[in-house]
Amino acid sequence: MRIRLAVVAVALAMSGPAASQSLMSGIDLTSPAMTEADMTRAEVEARLAAQPGAAVFDHARLNGLDLSGLDFHGASFRGARLNGTDLSDARLDGAVLDQAWALKGHFDGASLKGAHLFQTQLQDASLRDADLSEARAPANFSRADLTGARFTNADLGADLKNQSMGLMRADLTGAKAEGADFTGTNLLRAVLEFADLKGAHLDGANLTTASLAGANLTGASVTGTDFTETDVASARLVDLQGSDETSLEAARNLARAFTR
């Protein structure tokens, strides 16, 4: 089972958002690997105490555990299963969650500053008021609740220099990100289709060739935002703060967006 899931994770990394969604349909989300835990909270705490700042939970099954408030700074969760796990108010600064599964995980109020979330699967997860400042997070946040989350100076963009595994970028399709802070965030080629970005801070963000099709940016702050070749078809660009015609003219399908 572990080998099979690892293969699927690699396949997801090699694919775009649409392909990732189709692969998800072939995964047994009711299997023990995706629903059960092979550690208790007490065992997790013991490992943290034994390996402060460098605890390793690679490929561990931590599904459904209450790990809220724990200090995981510098910990490694590569390929771990965190589906439905409660990590609210946990400290995950500098943690590595590459290719981890955190479907419907709870990260409300968690600190993930400088964390690494390479192709982390966070579909339907809750990250309300979480802090992902300066994180490297080309992860799948589709349908996630990012209300009030902070992505200041984070990197969610595609790595155009390293595409041996395909184009990897953040997917925020259908995410709830009202009031989220994306100031200075790299969203190069990111997918934000139908995302709720009302009142979000996108000042200085790089949205070059990103897709905002169907997204709602009503009242969003976009001072210095780079809209070069950004697809804004059917997007709501109403009452934008700090916008100017020059920056928006660089977007694609502006005539098909709602601007009033």
Nearest CA-CA partner of 158 in 3, 8, 17: 17
Q: State the pTM of this model.
A: 0.89
Selected residue with higher pLDDT from 235 and 158: 235
Cα distance between residue 257 and residue 214, in whole Å: 8
Residue 159 pLDDT: 81
Over residues 47-70, the mean pLDDT reads: 98
Over residues 50-71, the mean pLDDT reads: 98
Residue 166 pLDDT: 57
DSSP assignment, residue 239?
S
Cα distance between residue 101 and residue 59, in whole Å: 10
Least confident of 175-179, 210-214, 238-242: 238-242
User: Model confidence over 8-55: pLDDT tens digits?
Assistant: 443 444 444 544 544 466 688 899 999 999 999 999 999 999 999 999
- Residues of the chain with pLDDT > 70, as a percent, come to 87
Burial class of residue 41 in the structure, from the number of CB atoms within 10 Å of its CB (0-12 exposed, 13-18 middle, 19+ buried): middle
Residues 6+ apart with CB under 8 A from 249: none
Cα distance between residue 84 and residue 162, in whole Å: 32
Over residues 200-211, the mean pLDDT reads: 97
Chain centroid offset of residue 209 CA: 18
DSSP assignment, residue 11?
H
User: Model confidence over 103-141: pLDDT tens digits?
Assistant: 999 999 999 999 999 999 999 999 999 999 999 999 999
